[in-house]
Structure 1
Amino acid sequence: MSGKSGSTFLQLTGRGTTALFALFAVVHTALCIYGLRSDKVPAFALLALVAILVAGWVMTRPSDDPIPLRSTLLVVALTTVTSLNVWNLPDRGWPGWATWHWGAVTFVLFLLTLRGRPGWSWIGFGSMTVLAIAWSVDVGRGAAAGFGFVVRSAALMLVVWLFSILLSRTRASIRRLQDAELGRVRDETTSAAALEEQNSRLDQLRAAATPALERLLRAETLTDDDRRAFTLAEAALRDQLRASNLATAQVAEAATRARSRGVDVSLLDDRAGADVPPAVQDRIEAALVEHLDAATSGRIVARLLPDGRETIATVLASDGEATTRVTITEEGDGSAPADATRLDTATGRSPVRGSVAP
C-alpha cells in the first residue's frame, strides 16, 4: 500500500487502506443498524457510529509515523465517545449485535498501535475497559461480567502490541543495514571520484611534461624553441601545484596558448581545499578561458578566494594600458561569462596598473 510518508514502514495509507476502511465502514454500519433494536437510545448508537468512522478515517490519512499527537488525541477521544455507547446496551441478557462498538474501537486502536502510538492505544483501550466494567456494575451484572465482554479484545490488543514491537526492531535493523550500505556506496563513490581526479591530473602532467622530457633526451643541442617549450611545461606544472582547482584541462591548454603569445599567466588557489560548486566552476573556467584566448600581451591573474567570501573567484587581465577585473560569485544561472560582474573596464585613458591585487 503506497503512502505519502517517507518514514512509514507498513505505510497504512493509500488505496489499499482506503478500501479496507470502506469495508470497515460498511460492516460496522450494517452491524449498528442491525443492533438498533436492542439499543435503549438508537440515536446515540448512530452518534457512536459516526465517531468511530471519523476516527478510522483519521487513521488512514497520510502522515509520518508515529502519527501526529493531535491526530492521536482526536482518535482516542472519538474511541472513548464510541465506548460510551455501552450504556445504550440492555441491562439484562446477551446484548447481541449491539456490542459492535467494542470490535470497532479495538480495530481502530490496532491501527493506532501500528501507526506508532502503542501507549495511547492502551489508554484508549483502558478507557473502553473501565467504561464497560462501570456499566456492568451499574446495571447489576457485576465487574467480572464487564471485564468478560472486553477480555477477548484485550488479547488481540496484546498480540498487535507485541507485533508492533517486533516490527519496530525489524525496522531499526533494516535502517542500520541501509545506513551501512549507503555508507559503503558513498565511500566507494568518493574513492572512485578521487581516483578519477588523480588519473585526470596524471594525464595533464604527462601531456605537459612528457613532450619536454622527450625533447630534452633527444636533443644534442638545445635551441631557443626548446627552451620556450621547457618554460611552458614548467609553467603548466607550477599551475598544477599552486592552483589545481583552476588548472583544468581546458584552462591549462588556454594558458599554454596565452603564454606562447607572451602573456604572463598566474593561477592562484587560496580556498585551502574547499569545494567549488560545479556550476560555478564551469563559469570560472569559461570566463578564464575567454580572457586567456583574447589576450595577446600583458598579464592575467586568476585567483580562487578563501572560502566564506561572497566572491568565489576573480580574473584580472591587464594589457599594459588598461585592466579588466571580473568577479564571479555563487549567484547566477550557470552561464559564463555573462553573469560575471565586471568591476572595471578599459577606458583607454586612465589605465589600472598590474600591481592591483586580484
Structure 2
Amino acid sequence: MATVTDEGSPAAAETRSALLGLDDRWVTLGAAVLASITMLQASTSTDAVRVPLLTGICIAIVATATIMVVQSAPDPYPLGVTVAMCVALSAGSVATTWNYATPQPGFAAWQLQASATVMLVLAIRGRIAWAWLGTAGVNAPTFVWAHVNGLPPSTAWAMTLPPVMLVGGASLYNRAIRGAIARVHAAEARQRELEIIEARAHLAAKLRDSAHQRVSALALPVLARAHRKRMDAALSEDAAAAESALRDAIHAPALTGGSLGEAVAAARRRGVAVMLRDDSGHQLSPSRAEAVTSAVLPLLQSTQDGRVVIRLAPPASRAHVTVRASGRRSASAEFRWDGEMLCQSSPSPTHE
C-alpha cells in the first residue's frame, strides 16, 4: 500500500519545488529583476553612505543569494548553502549598517528588505529556523546602530518590522503548503490503490475467462464423447491427456503453448510421464519462451519412457530452467533464460 510522504521525503520535496515553479526560467528572471531593482535602489543613496564601494560589495552578496535561492535544488534547501547565505547576509548587513552616514539612511537601508526576500524563500523551502536566524542576524545591527546613534528602539522596529512580517508570512505558508502536499499525496496514493484494485479485478476476470475457455476446449469434447458412448481405451487415453493438459495450464501455463506443448503431448502419447512446474513467478516472456523451447526440446524428444520434469526455477536461482529425465536412461540439463546451457549429464542407464 502506498504511504503519504513527509516533508523531508524526496516526493514531498519535489512537490514543493514544483508548486514554487523553481524550474521555470521566469522565476530566475524575476530574481534577476529584483536584484537589479535592489542595485538601483542602493545606487540612489550613495550620498547617505560613507564608502560607496562597500555598498557595491554588499549588493553583489545579496544579488547572488537572491538568484541562488530560487534555483532548482532539493527541499529542504541544502543546509550548507543555507548557512552560508545567512552568514553572508548577516555580515553584509553589519557592513551596510556601519556604512550609514546619516541617522536617516532612507534607501541606504536597502539590505533589510532585500535580505528578507532571501529569508522568505528559505522559509518556504523548508528552512524556517534558519530563515529566522538569518533574519535576526540581518536585523540585529539595525538595533545596535540605533542605540549607538541615540535613536529610540522604535526607529529600529519601524525599519525591521516589515522584513519580519515577510518571513513570518512565509513560515505560515510553509506550514500550509506542507498540509496541501500531504493531502495531494494521500489522494494520489488512494488513486493508485484504486487503480491497482481495478487492474487486479480486471486481470482476475480475464484469467477466469481464459481458464473457462481452456477447460471448455479441453474437457467438453471428452465429456461429450463419454456421454454418447461407453468408456473405451481410446476415450480413456484422451481423458487422461485432457486432465494432464488442464494440470499443466494450472501449474505452468507458460510451458503449454507452441512446439513445446506439442512435444509434451507427444511424449505423453509415447508413455512418458511429463510434469511441468513454474516457480519463476511468471518470469517467462515470449522471447525467453522461444529460447527455453529450443533448449528443452532435444532432451524431451529423446526420452522414450519413464518420467520428465521440466521446471522454471525461482528468480534467484543460478539455473533458470531445469530438465530431469528418469527411466531406463536418465539425463538432466540446466539452462539460463537465453537458452545457454549451464550443465548437462549425458544419458546413462538407470540401475534398478
TM range (shorter): 0.7 to 0.9
The alpha-carbon distance between structure 1 residues 98 and 248, as it changes in their structure 2 partners (threshold 3 A), is: farther
| Cα contact 2:319–2:335 (8 A) shared by 1 | yes
| Cα contact 1:303–1:315 (8 A) shared by 2 | yes
Counterparts of 1:318 and 1:16 in 2: how far apart (Å)?
74
Residue identity opposite 1:67 in structure 2: Y
Find the residue that maps to 2:336 and give its secondary structure: strand
Counterparts of 2:113 and 2:335 in 1: how far apart (Å)?
71
Q: How does 1:336-347 map to 2 (within 5 A)?
A: 336-337=338-339, 340-344=340-344, 346=346
Q: 2:206 aligns with which of 196, 201, 217?
A: 196
| Cα contact 1:262–1:297 (8 A) shared by 2 | no
Residue identity opposite 2:188 in structure 1: Q
Q: 1:16 aligns with which of 26, 51, 65?
A: 26
Q: 1:266 aligns with which of 268, 275, 286?
A: 275
Q: Does 1:291 align with 2:300?
A: no
The alpha-carbon distance between structure 1 residues 98 and 252, as it changes in their structure 2 partners (threshold 3 A), is: same
Q: Which runs of 5+ in 2 are unaligned?
A: 1-12
| Cα contact 2:112–2:139 (8 A) shared by 1 | no
Q: Does 1:225 align with 2:234?
A: yes
Q: How does 1:107-256 map to 2 (within 5 A)?
A: 107-218=117-228, 220-241=229-250, 243-244=251-252, 246-250=254-258, 252-256=261-265
Q: Does 1:105 align with 2:101?
A: no
Counterparts of 2:21 and 2:89 in 1: how far apart (Å)?
22
Match of 2:9 in 1: none
The alpha-carbon distance between structure 1 residues 276 and 234, as it changes in their structure 2 partners (threshold 3 A), is: closer
The alpha-carbon distance between structure 1 residues 289 and 354, as it changes in their structure 2 partners (threshold 3 A), is: farther
Counterparts of 2:109 and 2:67 in 1: how far apart (Å)?
21
Residue identity opposite 1:291 in structure 2: V
Deviation string, structure 1 residues 62-100 (Cα, Å, up to 9, x no partner): 2221112112112212221222211111232x2122121
Find the residue that maps to 2:348 and give its secondary structure: coil
Match of 1:91 in 2: 102
Find the residue that maps to 2:164 and give its secondary structure: helix
Match of 1:275 in 2: 281
Residue identity opposite 1:315 in structure 2: V
Counterparts of 2:148 and 2:84 in 1: how far apart (Å)?
28
Match of 1:27 in 2: 37
Match of 2:309 in 1: 301
Q: Does 1:48 align with 2:54?
A: no
Match of 1:316 in 2: 324
Counterparts of 2:325 and 2:283 in 1: how far apart (Å)?
24
User: What's the offset of the Cα at 1:196?
Assistant: 2.2
Deviation string, structure 1 residues 126-162 (Cα, Å, up to 9, x no partner): 1122121111112222322112111122222222222
Q: Which runs of 5+ in 1 are unaligned?
A: 330-335
| Cα contact 1:317–1:325 (8 A) shared by 2 | no
User: What's the offset of the Cα at 1:321?
Assistant: 5.6
Find the residue that maps to 1:300 and give its secondary structure: strand
Counterparts of 2:209 and 2:261 in 1: how far apart (Å)?
16
Counterparts of 1:304 and 1:312 in 2: how far apart (Å)?
6
RMSD in angstroms over aligned alpha carbons?
Answer: 2.9
Counterparts of 2:350 and 2:20 in 1: how far apart (Å)?
68
The alpha-carbon distance between structure 1 residues 19 and 342, as it changes in their structure 2 partners (threshold 3 A), is: same
Counterparts of 1:297 and 1:51 in 2: how far apart (Å)?
83
Residue identity opposite 1:341 in structure 2: M
The alpha-carbon distance between structure 1 residues 320 and 31, as it changes in their structure 2 partners (threshold 3 A), is: farther
Match of 1:332 in 2: none
Counterparts of 1:23 and 1:144 in 2: how far apart (Å)?
32
User: What's the offset of the Cα at 1:345?
Assistant: 6.1
Deviation string, structure 1 residues 23-44 (Cα, Å, up to 9, x no partner): 1122112122222222111121
| Cα contact 2:32–2:67 (8 A) shared by 1 | no
The alpha-carbon distance between structure 1 residues 307 and 324, as it changes in their structure 2 partners (threshold 3 A), is: closer
- For CA contacts below 8 A with separation 6 or more, give which structure has more relative contact order: 2
* TM-score, structure 2 normalization: 0.83
Residue identity opposite 1:352 in structure 2: S
Mean CA deviation greater in 56-65 or 128-137: 56-65
Find the residue that maps to 1:126 and give its secondary structure: helix
Number of residue equivalences: 332
Q: Does 1:352 align with 2:332?
A: no
Find the residue that maps to 1:325 and give its secondary structure: strand
Deviation string, structure 1 residues 151-196 (Cα, Å, up to 9, x no partner): 1222222222222222221111111111111111122222222332
Residue identity opposite 1:344 in structure 2: Q
Find the residue that maps to 1:160 and give its secondary structure: helix
Match of 1:333 in 2: none
Residue identity opposite 1:182 in structure 2: R
